Amino acid sequence: MVRRLWEEFGLPVYVLTDCDSIPPDEIVIVRDAITKEVKIAPIGELAKPYINPKMEKEFIRIPWEVPSLNTKNGRIEWKPIDFLYRHRISGKLLKIRVRGRGIVRVTPAHSLFIFRNGKIEVIPAKNIKPGDYVVVAESLPRLSRGVFSLSELCLGEIIKNVLKSNSKRLKRVVLEDENGVTKRLSEADGEIRNFKVVYPIESKKKIYNIIRFDEEFAWLLGLFTAEGTIESKDIRFHLGAKESEIIDKVTNIIEKKFGIKPLILKEGRNGVRIIVSSSLVKILFEWFGFKNGAREKRVPSLILQAPGLFQLHYLKGLFDGDGYIDSYNNIVFFTSSTVLAKQLTSILLSLKINPTIIQRENGTTIRVPRSSIPDHLAEYFELKNKNVKKISPIYGIPVRGSVKSLLIWLANDDKLSYSAVVKKTGKQRLSKVLQQIDKLPSKFEDVVRNLTPIISGDISLAEVLEVDEEDYEGDVYDFSVPVSESFIGGHGIVFHNSYGFYIYSVFKSGSISLSYESERLATPGARFIGVMVTDIEEYKIPRNYIIKATDRDIKRAKELMRYPWFKESKAWQSQLKLFIKKKEKVEIEALSGHGFKFLTQIYIPEKISQKKWIE
C-alpha cells in the first residue's frame, strides 16, 4: 500500500519509527541470562518489578533471553533481549483466532510472521485476514538448564525462608536429628540439612526434612495441579472412588516423601478425599506456587526448571487427574486457567510434542495428537501404537500459487499424490519427497528455498480463522531482540518486534532478515525523519530521556553501516558514526519532554517543511 501511494499518486512517504506491542496478559517465555531460570507468565506480571508506574513510556534493561526465530534456517534459539518497551495506549486491540493455537491479542500495528505468496512475510496485525497462515513454533529449545540443582528439597530451609517475617510462628517449629536431639528452627542456620525431621511444637506429625525431588514427586505435583486444593491447615487431593490405582499411588508417595500417612475419606457419592494434614506440607505446596481456584492454576516454577523427564512425569500426573484419551487415541486436557494452558503448551513444545489448542471463553482444551508423541513414550501415556481413526492435520503448508504448482509438478513426476481438494500439505511429507529430487526445474528453486525454513526448521503454519476488534486502554509491551527481531508468546505464536532505523530500511529497500529485495514491496522514495542522533543536541532533548547504547546497539549500528542503502548515503553514515562515537540514543517519547504537542505541532512539521530528513 505504501509503495502504491508513493508510486501511483506521487504522495510523499515519511517514516517516523516507534514500537507496537502486546497487552499485559499475553504470555511470554523468558530466561534469566545469568541464572538461567525460566519463567512463563503474563508479560505485564514479569515486567512489574522493573517498571516505573509514573511513566507513560519506558525502555527497561533486563538481563533476559527469549526463544527467537532465526528466519534463515527456521530454528528457534535462546537470544538476549536488548530492552523491554512499555507504553500506554487508548485505542484498539485485535483478537486473532488461529486454528490449533487459540487466540492472540495484539495492537493493530504489531507485526506477525505470515506465509503469503509462497514465502514468510512480516505483516502488521491490522493487515491479517481470515485464511492467512501465521508462523507458529512446532518445537522450542529446552527450558531447563544443564544441571538441575534442586534434586533434594530441604523442608526446614524452605519453612525458615517463608516464615522469616513471622518470628512467633517460626519459633514453634522444631528440628530433630537421628539421635532424637532437637533444635528450634529459628536458632538453626547452616546445619539445618543435618536434621532428619521437622515438625510444629504443638503437633506429633514429624515430616522428613530432606525430600527427594524425583519423577514420582513430579507426577504427584502434576496430579495436585489437576485435582488438589490447599485448605486452612492441610492439602487435599479430590479423586474418583473408582481410581483405586491412583489413590494407592498418591498414598504411597506421600508416605515415602513426607513420612506420614494421609487420611482417606469419602467425598459425596462417588468421590474420595486424600488429606495430608500437616501445616508444614501446606507451606511447602504454597512455596511451590499452588493457589486455589480453577482459573488460578499454574505450573510450579520447580517443574519449569526441571529436566525433561521430570516434566513428562508432571504432565502424566496432570493428565491422570484431568485428562482422557479420546477415540482418536489422542490425549485431551481441559483447563479454565489461561496461564496454565499456555505454560503447558510451552512445555510440550520444548519436549518436541506439538499440541493443538481450542480456546473458548470458559477455558482451553489441549489436544496432544498420538502422531506427535514418540513411540517410546506412547506406552508411558497408555496410548496405542497407532491412531484408531485418521484425522485431518491441523498444521500444514497452504496449497496455493507457487506451492500448488510445485505439488502438481511432483505429482506429474510420480513423486507424490495430489488432489485439488486438499487445502494444505504436511511439511514432513513434502520434505521427504524433496530429498529424493536430484534436480529441480529452475522455476521451483526459489519456491523450495522459501519453504526451507518451514520444512527443515522448528516452525509450522496455522490458519487464521477470524480477526476481531476490542477497545483497550492501558499498558502494552514489546521486546527488542537484536538481529533475529522475534520472540515467542502465547501458544507458540511467533511475534515480530520493531527496531528503529531497521524499520525504515524495510520501507525503503525491503526486509533484510527475510530477504524481501523485491522492488514491488519496497518504497525507495521513503524518507526518514526521526528520531536522529543529531536531534539530541539540536532539539535539546532532556538528559533523563537519553538511553546509553549497549554493545549490541553498537554492533547493530556497524551492521547497518555495511548495508548497501546505508553505505551509499553520506547522511546515514554520518548519523551512524556519531551514534557509535557518542553511544547515546533516544526514542520518540523523548520529544514529550518538551510537551505532548511538540511532536505533532513542531517536530514533524519542521522536519518536513525544512526537508530535515534522510533519504
Whole-number pLDDT of residue 5? 42
DSSP-derived pairing of the beta strands 152-154 and 210-212: antiparallel
Average pLDDT, the chain: 86
Whole-number pLDDT of residue 538? 86
- Distance separating alpha carbons of residues 601 and 311, to the nearest angstrom: 56
Q: Estimate the crossing angle of helix 427-434 against helix 445-455, to 10 degrees.
A: 130
- Distance separating alpha carbons of residues 485 and 504, to the nearest angstrom: 14
- Distance separating alpha carbons of residues 150 and 286, to the nearest angstrom: 17
Whole-number pLDDT of residue 405? 92
Whole-number pLDDT of residue 211? 95
Please, what CATH class does the domain formed by 1-18+500-615 belong to?
alpha beta
Q: Domain limits of the chain?
A: 1-18+500-615, 27-138+458-497, 152-212, 215-378, 397-456
C-alpha cell at 410: 511432483
Question: Which regions in the chain score pLDDT beneath 70?
Answer: 1-20, 145-149, 384-392, 498-527, 552, 564-565, 589, 592, 596
For residue 287, count other CB atoms closer than 10 A to its CB: 17
For residue 470, count other CB atoms closer than 10 A to its CB: 10
Whole-number pLDDT of residue 58? 80
Overall size of the chain counted in residues:
615
531 preceded by a cis bond (ω within 30 of 0): yes
The pTM for the full model equals 0.80
C-alpha cell at 143: 527450558
- Distance separating alpha carbons of residues 280 and 278, to the nearest angstrom: 5
Whole-number pLDDT of residue 13? 45
- CATH topology for 215-378? Endonuclease I-creI (3.10.28)
- Distance separating alpha carbons of residues 162 and 229, to the nearest angstrom: 19
pLDDT in tens, 21-33: 899 999 999 999 9
The pair phi, psi for residue 182, each rounded to 5°, is -115, 160
- Distance separating alpha carbons of residues 91 and 97, to the nearest angstrom: 20
Whole-number pLDDT of residue 576? 87
Question: Which CATH number applies to 27-138+458-497?
Answer: 2.170.16.10
Whole-number pLDDT of residue 527? 66
Whole-number pLDDT of residue 6? 43
Whole-number pLDDT of residue 512? 41
Whole-number pLDDT of residue 331? 93
Residue 216 and residue 255 in contact, taking contact as beta carbons nearer than 8 Å: no
Whole-number pLDDT of residue 504? 46
> 1-18+500-615 and 27-138+458-497: same fold?
no
